[in-house]
A and B are shown apart, each in its own frame.
Chain A
Amino acid sequence: MLKYIIKRALWIIPTLLGVLIILFSLTYLMPGDPASAMLGPRATPELVAELNQRMHLDRSMPVRLGYYLTGVIKGDLGTSVWSGHKVRSLLAEALPHTALLAITSLGVAALIGILLGAFAAVRRDSPIGGCVTIASLLGVAVPDFVAALLLMLLFCVWIPILPALGAGAPGDPLDIALHLILPATALGIGWVGYLARLTRESMIDVLDSDYIRTAKAFAVPGKIIAYRYALKNAVIPSITVIGLGVGKLLGGAVFVEIIFSRPGLGKLIVDAVYARDFPVVQGGILVATVLFVLANLIADISYAFVDPRIQYD
């Protein structure tokens, strides 16, 4: 298994290299001259020349790729064309907001979803099962950005009890928490139903398996069978899904942050796209991608630990 983990971890290097090449070539695909596209139609030739020199745009493509790669490896993601700030410090400011949002929504959703699913599987004939089906259908039907709009309409316009915009005053936990409720709900609501359904299906399969029957024959109490023996194996599909889900979550955060005007990673990227501030776009996407790649790595490795029955070659 160690061989598998090392192989899996090393595979990240060529993958990330490819990611960097794609991010680099995106500037190449941009129609027209990148410098004037970034500075707008009224830029003077001197300004354009200066930007070209600063971003090494006057060099040949392989040289530029080399500059870009060495810069990224050194941790230098360039400077914003608009504000002149280091992209790295902009990202450092934005990332905590997104991390808080993502961890809260996914954590709460996983807890509720998995327990709901397990409960629905144990009490197969109770109305909980129906609730799970409806919840998962709702989760599919209302994508996160639509959910965000509807929640905003409901709790900020019709019944104005929750704050609509911003991330709350820094250093005020209550204010931050209040500002977190709606975005986190919008982002996590789809996951509750999805994870509940997934857990219920795999839990039903697990509860029908031989080792559970054996445990029943040994008169192990039902609750212990369900929540200690069965749930452990029934959670496995959810773990992989959560790993993949980090990508979806980061994508959903883009919309939710725009709608609720939270100064996170997603808003940083989209605002930079509007402003044609390409170093910031590149840096933001790179960070989001690295986070996603790491999440998948962790999910794959923990999968191997949680289910020792899986064989790797």
Chain B
Amino acid sequence: MNTDTAEPIEAGLDPSQLMFKRKWADTLRVTFRAVVKVKGGLWGGIFISVMLICAIGAQWISPSDPNAQDIMHRFAGPSLDNFFGTDYLGRDIFSRIIYGCRIAVLVAFSTVSISSIVGVFLGVVSGYNEGSKLDYFVIWLFDIVRSFPQIILALAIVAVLGPSLVNVVVALAFTAFPFYGRIARAQTLSVKEADYVKAAEAMGLQPIKIILRHITPNIMAPVIVCLGMDMATMIVWESGLSFLGLGVRPPTASWGIMLRNGYKYIQTSEWMIIWPALAIALAMIAFSLFSEGLRVALDPKERER
């Protein structure tokens, strides 16, 4: 992701602005190309795409309404009408799994974006002002939140705010942001000594512009690697909280709620547990393969191998 400075500067554009744009585009393109080259990364990418398609197009893909009850055909095994069988209210499990993608993807993307944006911002600002009172305060804040076992803190926050999709996202994002912050701060400490940052400072660029244009794009590699794995974790925790009845509210189709219902009928209807467990397992494999691909792609040492 080094920018070749030898290229001519296009006319009419502020040079620093141009460099900023190039860097982000470069990062994305190089990353994507490298991830797909890694064998697992490609498969992870394909799985995640399938999940995304299911999430966006759930109403067209699923064969029936996920909440349509058919009491006469409850606890039915897999058949041509219901590929995955039906649950305790006769709802089609296949449709509910597909709709469950929606909650999983929604929670994964929103928590990870909120926590990474907040965390990276705090981390970069505190790293750039190393040794200041602000720096110590931010480190303190990070360490407090990191002291709690993550899922237990999320559980407590949801217990206080009340179970709902938004509160789950808030709680999970709150528990995760210090991890991004720590990475961002550590990276900033090394990047801010670089010549191009010194040059920008000498040119009299405002600190906020230095942070946004010169530091942030150059510290993103480890953050991006973390993003991939964190999405998997967030999907697990959303289903975990929903499993405990502290997450998304029924009758919304969430894999965690499906497992909760399956647990109640574990003696009679094993399909109610197996399918959502399989869905979670596939999502986990997809995201971990993809983030492994990201790690290899973004690590110059690994790329040479």
Q: Which residues of A contact B (CB under 8 A)?
A: 11, 14-16, 18-19, 22-23, 26-27, 29-31, 137, 140-143, 145-146, 149-150, 152-153, 157-158, 246-248, 250-252, 254-255, 258-259, 269-270, 273-274, 276, 281, 285, 288-289, 292-293
Say yes or no: B162 contacts A150, CB within 8 Å. Answer: no
CB pair A250–B160 under 8 Å, yes or no, is: no
Contact A19 B148 (CB under 8 A): yes
B155 pairs with A150, CB closer than 8 A:
no
Secondary structure call for the A interface: helix
Given that A15-B144, A270-B244 are known contacts, is A247 also in contact with B281, CB under 8 Å in the complex? no
Contact call A251/B266, Cβ cutoff below 8 A: no
Q: Which residues of A contact B232 (CB under 8 A)?
A: 140
Q: Closest approach, in angstroms, between the C-beta of B125 and any C-beta of chain A?
A: 19
Name the B residues within 8 Å of A15 (CB-CB).
140, 143-144, 147
- Does chain A have a CB within 8 A of B129? no
Q: Are A31 and B162 in contact (CB under 8 A)?
A: yes
Of the candidates A16, A29, A31, A274, the one whose C-beta lies within 8 Å of that of B147 is A16
* Residues of chain B lying within 8 A (CB to CB) of residue A247: 148-150
Q: Chain A residues near B143 (CB, 8 Å)?
A: 11, 15, 18
Question: Is B191 an interface position by the 8 A CB rule?
Answer: no
A157 with B147, Cβ < 8 A, contacts A150-B277, A255-B240 known: no
Residues of A within 8 Å of B285, CB to CB, are 137, 140-141
Provide 18 A-B residue pairs closer than 8 Å at the C-beta atoms, listed in order of the A residue.
A11-B143, A15-B140, A15-B143, A18-B140, A30-B160, A142-B281, A146-B280, A149-B259, A149-B266, A153-B273, A158-B270, A248-B150, A251-B151, A269-B155, A273-B159, A273-B246, A285-B156, A292-B148
Q: Are A289 and B140 in contact (CB under 8 A)?
A: no
* Cross-chain contact A289 with B277 (CB below 8 angstroms): no
Give the distance in Å from the alpha carbon of A107 to the alpha carbon of B164 in the complex.
Answer: 37
Contact (A149, B277) CB under 8 Å given A19-B147, A29-B161, A255-B240: yes
Q: 4 new A-B pairs (CB below 8 Å) besides A145-B259, A247-B150?
A: A27-B160, A31-B162, A142-B284, A153-B266
Q: How far is the CB of A292 from chain B (nearest CB, A)?
A: 5
B119 at the interface (CB under 8 A from A): no
**In the bound complex, what is the Cα–Cα distance between A122 and B282 (angstroms)?**
31
Q: Which residues of A contact B270 (CB under 8 A)?
A: 153, 157-158
Is B153 among interface residues, defined by CB-CB distance under 8 A?
A: yes
Query: Chain A residues with Cβ under 8 A from B153's Cβ?
Result: 285
Interface size, chain B (Cβ < 8 Å): 41
Residue numbers in B under 8 Å from A273 (CB-CB): 155-156, 159, 246
Q: Provide the residues of chain B in CB contact with A157, threshold 8 Å.
A: 266-267, 270
**What are the residues of chain B within 8 A of A285 when measuring CB–CB?**
148, 152-153, 156
Q: Are B149 and A250 in contact (CB under 8 A)?
A: yes
Closest to B288 in A: A140
Q: Quick one: given A141-B285, A143-B240, A247-B150, are A281 and B273 in contact (CB under 8 Å)? A: no
Q: Which residue of A lies closest to B244 (CB)?
A: A270
Which chain A residues lie closer than 8 Å to B266 at the CB level?
149, 152-153, 157
- A276–B148 CA distance with the chains assembled, in angstroms: 20
| B276-297 Cβ-contact flags toward A at 8 Å (1 or 0) | 0100111011001000000000
Q: Which residue of chain B lies nearest to A247 when distances are taken between CB atoms in the complex?
A: B149
Given contacts A140-B284, A143-B280, A157-B266, whether A19 and B149 have CB atoms under 8 Å apart is: no
Nearest CB in chain A to that of B263: its residue: A149
**A251-B149 in contact (CB<8A):** yes
Give the Cβ gap from A100 to chain B, nearest Cβ, in Å.
Answer: 18
- Do the beta carbons of A251 and B152 come within 8 Å of each other? yes
Cα(A275)–Cα(B74), bound, Å? 31
How many Å lie between the Cα of A248 and that of B160 in the bound state?
22
* Chain B residue at minimal CB-CB distance from A266: B152
CA distance A145 to B232 in the complex (A): 14
Q: Would you call B262 an interface residue if the criterion is a C-beta within 8 Å of the partner chain's C-beta atoms? A: yes
In the bound complex, CA of A269 to CA of B159 (Å) = 11
Q: A208 to B159: give the CA distance in the assembly, Å.
A: 51
Across-interface contacts of B160 in A (CB, < 8 A): 26-27, 29-30
Is B157 in contact with chain A by the CB < 8 A criterion? yes
Interface residues of B in 154-203 (CB under 8 A from A): 155-157, 159-162
> In chain B, what residue has the closest Cβ to A34?
B160
Nearest CB in chain B: distance from A293 CB, A: 5
B84 part of interface (Cβ distance < 8 Å): no
Query: A149 to B236, alpha carbons, bound, how many Å?
Result: 14
Q: Among the interface residues B147, B162, B245, which one has the most CB atoms of the partner chain A within 10 A? A: B147
List residues of chain A with CB within 8 A of the CB of B149. 246-248, 250-251, 288-289, 292
Is the pair A293, B147 in contact by a Cβ cutoff of 8 Å? yes
Q: How far is the CA of A11 from the CA of B147 in the complex (A)?
A: 12
Which residue of A has the minimal Cβ distance to B273? Answer: A149
Flag whether B128 is at the interface (Cβ < 8 A).
no
Give the 7 A-B residue pairs with the shortest CB-CB distance, closest first.
Answer: A18-B144, A251-B151, A247-B149, A141-B281, A273-B159, A143-B236, A250-B149
Contact A288 B240, beta carbon cutoff 8 Å: no
Chain B residues contacting A276 (CB-CB under 8 Å) are 159
- C-alpha spacing A292/B143, complex, angstroms: 12
- With A and B bound together, what is the CA distance between A145 and B243 in angstroms? 9
Residues of B within 8 A of A293 (CB): 147
The distance from the CB of A91 to the nearest CB of chain B, in whole angstroms, is 14
Interface of chain B residues 122 through 148 with chain A (CB within 8 A): 140-141, 143-145, 147-148
Give Cα A114 to B284, complex, Å. Answer: 23
A145 partner residues in chain B, CB cutoff 8 A: 240, 243, 259
Nearest-CB distance from A255 to chain B (Å)? 6
